[in-house]
Amino acid sequence: MTEIWRLSATELAQNIRNRKISAREAAQAALSRLEAVNPAINAVVDYRAEDVLAQADAVDLSVTRGEELGPLAGVPVTVKVNVDQEGLATTNGTRLQAENIAAADSPVVTNLRRAGAVILGRTNTPAFSLRWFTDNQIHGATKNPRDPSRTPGGSSGGAAASVAAGIGHLAHGTDIAGSIRYPAYACGVHGLRPSLGRVAAYNASGPERPIGPQLTGVSGPIGRTIADLRLGLAAMSGFDPRDPWWVPAPLEFPDQPRRAALVRRPGGLEIVPEVEEALVDAAARLRDADWEVVELDDIPAIEEAAELQARLWIGESFAPWEAMAAQDGDPGAIGTIAGLKAFLNGRVSAELYAQALVRRATIIRDYQLLLHKHPVLLLPVSAELPFPDHLDRTDFPRVWRAQLTQVGLALTGLPALAVSTAQVGRTTTGVQLLAGRFREDLLLAAGAVLEAGGTPPSPVDPAF
């Protein structure tokens, strides 16, 4: 019999629903796996075993009573340490928030619980969730379970590493510049950045987010299968009155012709051969499944979109960021702020911030017009294979340039999916899909086709 922790979230939920596996058995298996492999990768930085088992027992009681079960009933799920979970610290990877104890769950945690998920533990993030590498002064470094010399990605590095190593069956992540898509790519799993307004967000433990992050930062699922992402999205996207941006959009739309456009080098991006091979292979997989695939030279204003996204992320001044990073003392955060300052030539202001918000509307319109003609775009996740760990500390410009599509596409608020499709030695590669607003169903349909053509084996034992 397959070990419980190896089952997909979808398989486990069905087994619990059919009473073939109890929620307590699933929780015990998840805790045993966590205790066996987490010391090597440091993906989960806070968990309470007694609480995990109590959550599972509550699910089993509902099963016994014949009560209606949520879609994730009894499934162990991890939550990133930058969202509120009642009674635990929302550290966001910084010592400055070590005692920032949440008085209530964030909407995404509320919705996961409502769906019956068992919250297994809190996953690591870089300080202030700033980097594509996961290390900080409070929780330490997270390692990629496939290859410790490579980054696990960031900022949801702990989330992706946990799923890849079989710690939990589904993970919550957040994404403002690739923080779901890149860790999934780096760890050889799949990650969905939903549309703005799809998944409700709010952290009562902290101040209201500035308008830039409100418009560009989202929560979404990371999983080992496309079916699990579908299940996770449905669970996470429930209504919550605390988020004024939430939209009651359907998860499925009427069928339409399956059309995609391949863009190998958006913005003139110089991609490595392995990335190009993954793109060509993905296009072939879609064509074999009767998708119409054409090739385009470029997408709208991706370099400008990345610059505007950086401006909306930073805000009107570097000073608050520099002060926080200096106070925390995290070298990665300090270096990232310096790198962003150099990228923007030190030029940020209220006027430039306002101009970015205005220009954003034009760029979104251009993407929506393109996606009206080509409903799915096939793009690189990154120009390179997953980076050597901490490469940004020595070559920030190279790292930033390689991540052009992750940063720029976040500006649009459109949904994007990273699908892991191949393994190159000990590391992994894959592709990124983009669709129109709230058309996650198209992404998941295309993603299922790509997945059917083969993915890296998962979950894995840490390779060290």
Q: Pick the catalytic residue: 8, 106, 129, 179?
A: 179
Q: Pick the catalytic residue: 22, 106, 129, 155?
A: 155
What gap in Å lies between CA 95 and CA 139, rounded to an integer? 9
For 102-140, give the secondary structure using H, E and C: CCCCCHHHHHHHHCCCEEEEEECCCHHHCCCCCCCCCCC
Tokens 């609480």 sit on residue: 51
Q: Which amino acid is at 27?
A: A
Specify the 3-state DSSP secondary structure of 364: helix
CA-nearest of 246, 258, 256 to 283 is 258
Look up residue 4 and give its DSSP letter: G
Q: Pick the catalytic residue: 80, 106, 420, 458?
A: 80
State both tokens at 22. 């109890």
Determine whether 179 is an active site residue. Answer: yes
Cβ pair 222, 160 in contact under 8 A: yes
Residue 299 has φ and ψ, to the nearest 5°, of -120, 165
Segment (H or E) for 428: strand 427-435
Contacts of residue 347, Cβ cutoff 8 Å, sequence gap at least 6: none
CA-nearest of 415, 416, 396, 418 to 186 is 418
Radius of gyration of the chain (CA): 20
C-alpha neighbours within 13 Å on the C-beta side of residue 299: 34
| Partners of residue 429 on adjacent β-strands | 422
- How many residues are listed for the chain in this entry? 464
Segment (H or E) for 222: strand 218-223
State both tokens at 361. 């509307």
C-alpha neighbours within 13 Å on the C-beta side of residue 293: 21
Cβ pair 111, 240 in contact under 8 A: yes
| Partners of residue 428 on adjacent β-strands | 423
Give Cα 46 distance to the centre of its chain: 19
CA-nearest of 405, 369, 402, 362 to 263 is 405
Question: Sheet harboring 76-80: ordered strands across?
Answer: 44-46, 118-123, 76-80, 170-175, 218-223, 190-193, 416-424, 427-435, 376-379, 259-262, 292-295
Q: List active site positions.
A: 80, 155, 179
